[in-house]
Structure 1
Amino acid sequence: MAHVPESLKKYVCVHCSVTHAGTPIHLDGGEHSFEPPESCGACGGSEFVPASEWIHHHK
């Protein structure tokens, strides 16, 4: 069976709009889920929106 690469989940900081790669969390079966970082590396903010929902996000 061929390996299918997982898609990386991205998160956008609500305060400064910097995009971050999600932190991979290992699941059973070799799969991963992704969580936003604890804080933004650019501004220190702690509120993130999945990049796929950014266009629909309103402050």
Structure 2
Amino acid sequence: MAHIPEEPKRFVCENCQIIHAGTPVHASGGDHSFETPTTCGGCGESTFVEFTDWVHHHA
């Protein structure tokens, strides 16, 4: 069976709206999750909204 890569969670910087890929975190059993970035690479802010929630987000 072929491996199908999982798409990483994406996060939108609340300040400048740049999209960042979450940092993969590996857990036991081969599972993983994605952490929110600590700071935005564009503006340096640290407030993010998950990409799937962005359209419903009100700043």
Give yes or no for TM over 0.5. yes
TM-score between both structures, scaled by the size of structure 2? 0.90
Matched-pair identity in %: 56
TM-score between both structures, scaled by the size of structure 1? 0.90
Task: Name the residue aligned to 1:57.
Answer: 57
SS of alignment partner, residue 7 of structure 1: coil
C-alpha RMSD of matched pairs (Å): 1.0
- Runs of 4+ in structure 1 deviating by more than 4 angstroms, as ranges, are none
Task: Name the residue aligned to 1:29.
Answer: 29
Gaps of 5+ in 2: none
Shift of 1:3: 2.1
Shift of 1:2: 3.6
Report the residue type matching 1:21 in the other structure. A
Shift of 1:35: 0.8
Gaps of 5+ in 1: none
Shift of 1:4: 3.0
